[in-house]
Amino acid sequence: MSLRLAVLASGTGSNLQAILDHVHGRDGIAVVAVGSDKPEAPALARARERGIPTAAFPLADHPDRAARDTALADWLAGNGAELIVLAGYMQLVTPAFLARFPQAVVNVHPALLPAFPGLRAVEQALAYGVRVFGVTVHFVDEGVDTGPLILQRALELPHARVPEDVLPQLHALEHELLPEAIRLIAQGAVRVDPADARRVLLDP
Ligand code: GRF
């Protein structure tokens, strides 16, 4: 098995770190590039420490989103990326970007989709009063957190009131689930059902 993956991240990059620590360099899986929309993102520094090529593509450096995403896709493809992992990447990618990597862009979201898509998912869940939180890894489509679901895992916290009651355990869950999804993809165990584009088939 082998897989060359790229990670896009806007923030601290703890999910990137989990990938670097538990997936990168094992079983033929390699992180070949880490990109961001923010030149100062700590995620880029984590990648540089491991000698992985990094680049930032701030919108301000390009005429528009389409041009930015073309440059980003060219850079990712130039580094041989086969799978693009959005790990806290706070930008929507364009349809043209997705077309460059068909069924090969995945995202980690800190809620049990389709509940609480978009920004501040944990805050949304707390405001709703849920007692079960969770994490979703899904293929990215043209919507906001709407693509076919790959893995989900729940976290029962019936007494949570503030984000601090949820986030440490939720992040720990993300750090398990995202590497697990990448390993399954590398094994060829994940595919979208040809008969039902909403459904992801997982080999047992
Ligand atoms: C994670 O909670 C992820 O689910 C969300 O953004 C956060 C990124 O965290 N999309 P980090 O930068 O990986 O620490």
Which residue stretches of the chain have pLDDT < 50? none
Number of domains composing the chain: 1
For a substitution probing ligand 1, which of 10, 14, 36, 182 has the most ligand atoms within 8 Å of its CB? 14
Q: What is the pLDDT of residues 134-178, one digit of tens each?
A: 999 999 999 999 999 999 999 999 999 999 999 999 999 999 999
Is residue 22 part of the annotated active site? The answer reads: no
Distance, in Å, from the CA atom of 174 to the CA atom of 77, rounded to the nearest integer, reads 26
Q: Give helix 167-186 / helix 14-22 axis angle, nearest 10°.
A: 40
CATH number where 28 lies: 3.40.50.170
| Strand 190-192 with 83-86, pairing | unpaired
Distance, in Å, from the CA atom of 167 to the CA atom of 72, rounded to the nearest integer, reads 30
Active-site option among 109, 138, 171, 175: 109
Chain Cα centroid distance, residue 178: 7
Range of the domain at 100: 3-202
User: What pLDDT is recorded for position 1?
Assistant: 77
Put simply, whether the predicted model's pTM sits higher than 0.95 gets the answer yes
